[in-house]
Amino acid sequence: MRKQNMNRDWIATARTLSEALPYLQRYAGAIVVVKFGGNAMGDAEAMAEFARDIVLMRQVGVNPVVVHGGGPMINDLLARLGIKSEFVRGKRVTDKATVEVVEMVLTGLVNKRIVQAIMDEGGRAVGLSGKDDDLMVCVADDPELGFVGKPVEMNVQVLRDLFSAGIIPVVAPVATGMQANETFNVNGDTAAGALAAALKADRLLLLTDVSGVKNASGEVVTQLSPDEIRAMIADGTISGGMIPKAETALLAVDGGVRAAVILDGRQPNACLLELFTEHGAGSIIRSTESRMKPRGR
């Protein structure tokens, strides 16, 4: 009986691989930008699973770029250092002391943890920030917020060089400014969207802690056009923390990204489900002309 059960498992696995073939072929050579964050970053098992998925993507010919956040780790160190956070309209005011902590945590702690996780799973990864090779140049997004950056110039050749070497870039959302010695903290979603647009990526995957964009009835909408997203923001259907993710998806698609997907990063193998299965995962946002095409095409 055990042998029969194992054979059934093997057959199911072989069928899954066979069904994935068209999608593996579809994404060979494609650039996929993945925003990673949330609770998974503090969970060793979840981190390892995410890293394994990223390594598999690279192994089958995809060029992934991982962009990460690190809010909980930043909050923890600020509290330990006795640096109080002020907020304006729900956003953290980032003064000189705060931006120094942000840079330490994102580039020195979080970034290297992700790089190490990918290396542990057999991949090759290099960690960098928006400062490296002027990858991301920013201006102040809002003077009241201090050193919170808005990307205005992207120099992505360094990422293409890493792709050519078979290396996975892991990017911390810390950027340089237009003036000497300026450092900006950039929202992780914003950074991922800007990089995806600059790279003309095939996919932008925004991993979050919810299952996708929900309609007024609370049901996840699997496919959306930019106009539908704008309407849902305007009428309040999309609200709270989903607004910046939806706006990032819009900017990415408008900037030349083939499609952006908001999906639940807590779901096992979420990235693989989105890329290599017919049904995908989460909510995909793409232009009206391409909306009726199969998800993986």
Taking residue 127's Cβ as centre, other Cβ atoms within 10 Å add up to 23
d(CA 94, CA 97): 8
Task: Please spell the DSSP secondary structure of 158-183, one letter per residue.
Answer: HHHHHHHTT-EEEEESEEEESSTT-E
Q: Is 146 helix (H, G, I), strand (E, B) or coil?
A: strand
* Pairing label, strands 91-92, 87-88: antiparallel
What is the model's pLDDT at position 38? Answer: 67
One digit per residue, the tens of pLDDT, for the chain of length 297 reads 445 555 766 666 666 666 767 777 888 899 999 999 866 676 888 899 999 999 999 999 999 999 999 888 888 999 999 998 887 766 778 999 999 999 999 999 999 999 999 999 999 999 999 999 999 999 999 989 999 999 999 999 999 999 999 999 999 999 999 988 899 999 999 999 999 999 999 999 999 888 889 888 888 888 999 999 999 999 989 988 888 899 999 999 999 999 999 998 888 888 988 898 877 788 999 976 554 455 554
What is the model's pLDDT at position 248? Answer: 93
What is the model's pLDDT at position 273? Answer: 86
d(CA 96, CA 175): 14
What is the model's pLDDT at position 18? Answer: 66
Q: Which of 225, 157, 148 is nearest to 191 (CA)?
A: 148
CATH of 22-290, one of 3.10.450.50, 3.90.480.20, 3.40.1160.10, 3.40.50.1820: 3.40.1160.10
What is the model's pLDDT at position 292? Answer: 43
Q: Which of 205, 239, 182 is nearest to 32 (CA)?
A: 205
Q: Which of 205, 40, 39 is nearest to 117 (CA)?
A: 40
Write down the residue that tokens 């990307």 correspond to: 151
